[in-house]
């Protein structure tokens, strides 16, 4: 079970990034104090949680250079980077034996943006191999180490949840941000596709690959939205919210706790929102299959070079992609593009008159073992390229989250709606 005995005043690692920035500016502690507290927490817990592949040996020296009057929005804040996103001063292994000695020449743009804002990369976190398939991360769920934290952003999700670090980067091609956030109790944003550059992150399916943001508070997600210059969106009206409740076409696969959460949302939110049924059109049942078709077909090109050059050492899951063993054809791949384009337009028209849509973030609690988990309740939204905010819900024995979905490029509106409802969850 995660160690929750320490308070923020006793352990700076318990602070959110927003709280830490306020304390740093006020001179209550230094960036070096904060960094040492996070490293102490890692030393205490990571033998069980195993979130980290590499730690930054220069982290304390870099923190010592941060002054209290540094105006940058993340000055002195430790951040975690999923180990399939390039860092110029740390290895990027992709959790693959083929890349165990890989040292990129520069940071990925998404990392450069964090560093320009003053953040300090404390280390690289474990991931499913190439953030796709193959080897699972060794990381454990901090609430129950017998369970998975979810993949593929396993280490980042667990490290943020277990107070190793206040902020982290993951990715999502199917459900790799929102699902582990649900399993670990994080707040997370899967932004609208294309808003944060994926250059320097291992490509899997370029139509879906998205940089994901992990934190422990909505204030921190809003802070990262500023750092990444996410576009402005219409203000949320001051009136009572109207939220759709979408159990998705796959509701029969919810675990009892997942069904209980969906059943409770109208009552939980009754003070601030009308929660009404939101049913997707019948043909939207195909969203998961369309997603898998494109993911596998784009994955076939993404891993072709490794299959050709390093075939004997490459996990068979990747040969599965390259050989299109699920029976998809590249012609079906292009037909799937066309169907998804029409579905995206139809879904956004359905959102008119709603302030957002609530949906499951996962079938239920994190399963036992180290599997990535079932992406069924995430892949449809990834396919639609819409923003998804993962919010934890209380009242359960283990973490469980709910997804809040909005229109593309309305990420800030989704965050603002999330701020209105989070306390009631």
Residue 230 has pLDDT above 70, yes or no: yes
* Paired tokens of 422: 């989070």
Coil/strand/helix, residue 415: helix
Counting Cα atoms < 13 Å in the Cβ hemisphere of 110 gives 28
Q: What is the mean pLDDT of the chain?
A: 96
**pLDDT above 80 (res 9):** no
Q: What is the Cα–Cα distance from 385 to 178, expressed in whole angstroms?
A: 14
152-203 confidence digits (pLDDT tens) = 999 999 999 999 999 999 999 999 999 999 999 999 999 999 999 999 999 9
pLDDT at 5 over 60: no
Spatial CA neighbour of 173 closest among 196, 203, 141:
203
What pLDDT is recorded for position 316?
92
pLDDT in tens, 82-124: 999 999 999 999 999 999 999 999 999 999 999 999 999 999 9
Dihedral of alpha carbons 76, 80, 81, 83, sign: positive
Distance, CA of 162 to CA of 143 (rounded, Å): 8
For residue 313, what pLDDT is reported? 85
Active site residues: 82, 152, 176
Residue 358 Cα distances to 184, 242, 393, 405, angstroms: 19, 11, 12, 6
High-pLDDT (> 90) share of the chain, %: 96
> Distance between CA 351 and CA 345 in Å, rounded?
10
pLDDT at 2: 74
Q: What is the mean pLDDT of residues 412-421?
A: 98
Fold (topology level) of 12-228: Amidase signature (AS) enzymes (3.90.1300)
Q: What is the pLDDT of residue 10?
A: 61
Structure tokens at 370: 């180290």
Helix, strand, or coil here: 223?
helix
With beta carbons less than 8 A apart as the criterion, state whether 261 and 398 touch.
no
Q: Where are the chain's structural domains?
A: 12-228, 241-286+329-424
Residue whose tokens read 């230094």: 30
| Strand residue runs (E) in 131-257 | 167-172, 187-190, 210-215, 241-245
**In this model, does residue 392 exceed pLDDT 60?**
yes
Whole-prediction pTM: 0.97
> What is the token pair recorded at 138?
């060794």
Beta bridge partners of 121: 79
User: 383-392 burial, b for 16+ CB within 10 Å, e for fewer?
Assistant: bbbbbbbbbb
Which single residue is written with the structure tokens 């923020």? 8
Count CB-CB contacts under 10 A for residue 309: 10
| R_g of the chain computed on alpha carbons | 20
Rounded alpha-carbon distances, angstroms, from residue 23 to 6, 221, 264, 372: 18, 18, 37, 36
């Amino acid at each position: 079970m995660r160690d929750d005995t320490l308070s923020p005043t006793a352990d700076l690692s318990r602070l959110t990034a927003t709280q830490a920035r306020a304390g740093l500016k006020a001179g209550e502690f230094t960036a070096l104090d904060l960094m040492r507290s996070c490293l102490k927490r890692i030393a205490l817990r990571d033998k069980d949680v195993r979130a980290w592949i590499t730690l930054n040996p220069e982290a304390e020296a870099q923190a010592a250079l941060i002054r209290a009057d540094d105006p940058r929005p993340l000055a002195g804040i430790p951040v975690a980077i999923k180990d399939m996103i390039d860092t110029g001063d740390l290895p990027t292994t992709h959790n693959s034996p083929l890349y165990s000695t890989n040292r990129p020449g520069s940071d990925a743009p998404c990392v450069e943006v964090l560093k320009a804002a003053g953040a300090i990369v404390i280390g690289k976190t474990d991931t499913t191999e190439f953030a796709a398939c193959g080897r699972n991360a060794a990381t454990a769920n901090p609430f129950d180490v017998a369970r998975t934290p979810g993949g593929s952003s396993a280490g980042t999700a667990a490290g943020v949840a277990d107070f190793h670090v206040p902020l982290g980067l993951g990715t999502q091609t199917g459900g790799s941000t929102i699902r582990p956030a649900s399993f670990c109790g994080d707040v997370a944003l899967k932004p609208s596709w294309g808003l944060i550059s994926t250059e320097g992150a291992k490509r899997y399916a370029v139509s879906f690959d998205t940089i994901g943001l992990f934190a422990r508070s909505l204030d921190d997600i809003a802070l990262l939205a500023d750092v990444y210059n996410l576009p402005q969106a219409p203000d949320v009206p001051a009136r009572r919210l109207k939220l759709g409740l979408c159990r998705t076409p796959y509701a029969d696969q919810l675990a009892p706790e997942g069904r209980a959460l969906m059943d409770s949302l109208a009552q939980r939110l009754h003070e601030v929102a009308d929660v009404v049924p939101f049913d997707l059109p019948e043909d939207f049942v195909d969203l998961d299959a369309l997603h898998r078709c494109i993911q596998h077909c784009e994955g076939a090109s993404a891993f072709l070079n490794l299959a050709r050059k390093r075939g004997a050492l490459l996990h068979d899951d990747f040969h599965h992609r390259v050989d299109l063993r699920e029976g998809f054809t590249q012609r079906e791949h292009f037909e799937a593009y066309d169907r998804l384009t029409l579905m995206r337009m139809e879904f956004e028209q359905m959102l008119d008159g709603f302030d957002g849509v609530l949906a499951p973030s996962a079938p239920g609690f994190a399963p036992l073992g180290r599997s990535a988990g079932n992406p069924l309740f995430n892949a449809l939204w990834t396919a639609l390229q819409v923003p998804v905010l993962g919010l934890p819900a209380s009242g359960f024995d283990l973490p469980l989250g709910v997804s809040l979905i909005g229109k593309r490029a309305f990420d800030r509106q989704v965050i603002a709606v999330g701020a209105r409802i989070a306390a009631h969850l």
